[in-house]
């Protein structure tokens, strides 16, 4: 089908980035969230990021203005019903996602494609609770969305070819690169990335290295742009823990056991940048300070 409008569920870190790139690519975007404050912050952030792109000559002023004009916000989930494609980008909790799709389904047209930006949850299982498993798939963007070029496309067991092709066309129009992944826990990127982060937390937990030495070692020794603990803070420690639990539960292998220190940080509410404390403390005016 020809996709002209995209509905995005969730105005957080991922949702606002997805809205940004979709509107810039010429799609009409309807962005929804349960919080009006989150919606206002998302639009302000999109405007700020677009202004930054204009200042760097990556986007023209006309394209910036057009993108903002194409974004509409609403707190009513069913307002997305007329959209051709829905991208769910809510919190990484399966029960929340099921509830969203249940509320959304009665308002959708038969041809509407449903997708989830989940980073680890089974696409087949999410699809099975809807009325259109053949028109359901994983549409996993990387963070930050306007910068990162990869999108993982994940087919559930019932996803049909037309749905896959339609989503692939969207990725191409966004000027990003699609990677096809099979529907196994955490797919490709997080199946590899999260155990590395979890192992870095174990190295810290066991006293092999400090926060600074671990991140410096991976940045200078493996040429990573961010150290694994710095990256964990950027992603969100609650998200990292949720993905490790999906891997551990889904694959039943002890090598995916979440590090107890990661669990402790999440229990403390130290989730990284979004709470101003994680493996680093971001509350000061200078450089972030290691918390351990």
151 bridge partner residues: 141, 178
The CA–CA distances, whole Å, from 46 to 43, 57, 64 equal 5, 16, 10
Query: Does 79 appear as a known binding residue?
Result: no
Q: Cα separation of 87 and 167, whole Å?
A: 11
**What pLDDT sits at residue 148?**
96
Q: Cα separation of 4 and 12, whole Å?
A: 23
Asked whether the predicted pLDDT for residue 138 surpasses 90, the reply is yes
83 bridge partner residues: none
Asked whether the predicted pLDDT for residue 166 surpasses 80, the reply is yes
What pTM was computed for the model? Answer: 0.90
Query: Does 1 appear as a known binding residue?
Result: no
Please write the tens of the pLDDT for every residue from 232-248. Answer: 999 999 999 999 999 99
Each domain of the chain, given as residue ranges in start order, spans 5-182, 191-290
**What pLDDT sits at residue 265?**
98
Q: Cα separation of 167 and 128, whole Å?
A: 19
132: nearest Cα among 107, 154, 156, 114: 114
DSSP E strand boundaries for the chain: 5-9, 28-32, 71-74, 85-88, 113-116, 136-141, 150-155, 177-181, 280-281, 289-290
Please write the tens of the pLDDT for every residue from 109-128. Answer: 999 999 999 998 999 999 99
Please write the tens of the pLDDT for every residue from 207-216. Answer: 999 999 999 9
Catalytic residue at 119? yes
Mean pLDDT confidence for 134-157: 97
Query: Does 272 appear as a known binding residue?
Result: no
Asked whether the predicted pLDDT for residue 203 surpasses 90, the reply is yes
Query: Does 75 appear as a known binding residue?
Result: no
Query: Does 92 appear as a known binding residue?
Result: yes
Query: Does 47 appear as a known binding residue?
Result: no
Query: Domain 191-290, what architecture?
Result: Orthogonal Bundle (1.10)
Asked whether the predicted pLDDT for residue 21 surpasses 90, the reply is yes
175 sits in the region (left: phi over 0; alpha: psi -120 to 50; else beta) called left
Mean pLDDT confidence for 67-79: 98
What is the Cα Rg of the chain in Å?
Answer: 19
Mean pLDDT confidence for 246-269: 97
Q: Percent of the chain having pLDDT more than 70?
A: 100
Q: Which of 119, 120, 122, 198 is catalytic?
A: 119
The CA–CA distances, whole Å, from 185 to 39, 120, 142, 210, 238 equal 30, 5, 17, 30, 17
**What pLDDT sits at residue 75?**
97
**Class assignment of domain 5-182?**
alpha beta
Asked whether the predicted pLDDT for residue 231 surpasses 80, the reply is yes
Q: Percent of the chain having pLDDT more than 90?
A: 97
Query: Does 143 appear as a known binding residue?
Result: yes
Q: Which of 49, 116, 190, 198 is catalytic?
A: 190
102 bridge partner residues: none
Q: Which of 16, 88, 140, 198 is catalytic?
A: 140
Q: Which of 5, 152, 198, 230 is catalytic?
A: 152
- Average pLDDT over all residues of the chain: 97
Which band of pLDDT confidence, cut at 50, 70 and 90, is reported for residue 92? confident
Mean pLDDT confidence for 30-54: 97
Burial letters 159-178, b for 16+ CB under 10 A, else e: beeebbebbeebbeebebeb
Q: Cα separation of 30 and 19, whole Å?
A: 8
Asked whether the predicted pLDDT for residue 1 surpasses 80, the reply is no
């Amino acid at each position: 089908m020809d996709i002209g409008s995209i509905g995005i569920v969730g105005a957080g870190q991922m949702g606002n980035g997805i809205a940004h790139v979709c509107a810039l690519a010429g799609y009409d975007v309807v962005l929804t969230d349960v919080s009006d404050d989150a919606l206002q912050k998302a639009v302000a952030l999109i405007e700020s990021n677009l202004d930054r792109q204009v200042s760097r000559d990556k986007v023209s002023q006309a394209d910036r203005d057009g993108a903002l004009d194409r974004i509409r916000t609403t707190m009513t989930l069913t307002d997305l019903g007329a959209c051709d494609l829905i991208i769910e980008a809510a919190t990484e909790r399966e029960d929340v996602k099921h509830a969203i799709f249940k509320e959304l389904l009665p308002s959708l047209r038969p041809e509407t494609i449903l997708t989830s930006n989940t980073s680890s949850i089974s696409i087949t299982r999410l699809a099975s609770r809807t009325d259109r498993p053949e028109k359901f798939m994983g549409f996993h963007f990387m963070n930050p969305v306007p910068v990162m070029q990869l999108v993982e496309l994940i087919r559930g067991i019932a996803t049909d070819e037309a749905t896959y092709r339609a989503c692939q066309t969207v990725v191409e129009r966004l000027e990003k690169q699609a990677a096809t992944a099979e529907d196994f826990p955490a797919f490709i990127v997080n199946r590899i990335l999260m155990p590395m982060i979890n192992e870095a937390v174990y190295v810290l937990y066991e006293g092999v290295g400090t926060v600074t030495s671990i991140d410096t070692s991976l940045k200078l020794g493996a040429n990573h742009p961010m150290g694994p603990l710095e990256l964990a803070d950027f992603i969100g420690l609650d998200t990292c823990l949720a993905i490790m639990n999906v891997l551990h539960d889904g694959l039943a292998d002890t090598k995916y056991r979440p590090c107890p220190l990661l669990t402790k940080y999440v229990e403390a509410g130290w989730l990284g940048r979004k709470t101003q404390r994680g493996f680093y403390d971001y509350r000061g005016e200078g450089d972030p300070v290691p918390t351990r």
